[in-house]
Amino acid sequence: MPKAFEGSGIVEGTRELAALLLQANYAMVLTGAGMDTESNIPDFRGKNGLWKNYDPRVVADISTFQQNYKLFHRFFMDQFGKMKGVKPHPGHYALAEFERRGLIKGIATQNISGLHKRAGSKNIYELHGSTNEFFCNNCGREATEEDMTEMKPCRHCGEYAVRPDVVLFGEVLPEETWKTAVNEIKKCDLLLVIGTSLEVSPVNQLPYLAKGKKVLLNNENISAGYRFDLVILGKAGEILSQLAAIIASTGVK
């Protein structure tokens, strides 16, 4: 079991992470909802997580979408509303900077917020989709955000089946995105896992594919069974900012 750095030990742990990042030839990042909570988007299973108030299998499942569109729409709009007006925090910008410096090759994310993209990251694999696009679940044709927010029928087939391009429970992940993320993580010699409970399959299998060093950056220790080489317990945004400052102080171009 690796030593977990927390509290006053976070700086030492972050220094160790900086050394691993600078030594790595092909570092990849895997993020979850804990990456977005410092941008005021609640996570799902943390202490104030969304699934404390809703049963995901009821409100975020494809069967709910098909059998009770109004309930799905109400839940989704409640969450979508919380995402309007949020913005990337310094941790998102730090990851974009690491990519610019060539220190990380890409980010596989479970998040649908689009905050990595807005912070300037380029190689992003949105494994659970994103709320940037909408389509009709009945005829597959594109729809607009307004069609979704106004709960309009599909403008092509007339069905009430407009939805966001996100992966609901009971659905498969976008095939090409998944395959690319798997290949990238198989290639990496350092995997940095940030802000995820690793409770949801198949994403929770990805850390097992990483052959090199594995680092967990999370505010609770969910590392059991994953054999992380380094565990830093704390807030992602704060720690990534410290990491960026340490990297910048090394003068790495």
CB of 80 to ligand APR, least distance (A): 14
Window of 7-15, 19-27, 95-103, 190-198 that interacts with ligand APR by CB under 6 A: 190-198
Mark whether 128 is an active-site residue.
yes
- Is residue 153 reached through a cis peptide bond, with omega within 30 degrees of 0 on the bond before it? no
Structure-token match 């010699």, residue found: 189
Window of 6-14, 35-43, 96-104, 176-184 that interacts with ligand APR by CB under 6 A: 35-43
Sheet harboring 129-136: ordered strands across?
142-143, 129-136, 162-166
Question: Minimal CA–CA distance to 192: which of 104, 115, 121, 112?
Answer: 104
Q: Which of 105, 116, 117, 128 binds ligand APR (CB under 6 A)?
A: 128
CB of 47 to ligand APR, least distance (A): 7
Window of 44-52, 72-80, 146-154, 157-165 that interacts with ligand APR by CB under 6 A: 44-52
Catalytic residue among 73, 92, 128, 156: 128
Token pair, residue 162, equals: 């407009």
Residue 211, CA distances (Å) to 8, 188, 214 in order = 30, 7, 8
163 part of the interface to ligand APR, by CB under 6 A? no
44 part of the interface to ligand APR, by CB under 6 A? yes
For ligand APR, give the closer residue by CB, 21 or 203.
203
Q: Which residues contact 41 (CB under 8 A, 6 or more apart)?
A: 33, 82, 83, 86, 113, 115
13 part of the interface to ligand APR, by CB under 6 A? no
Catalytically active residues are 128
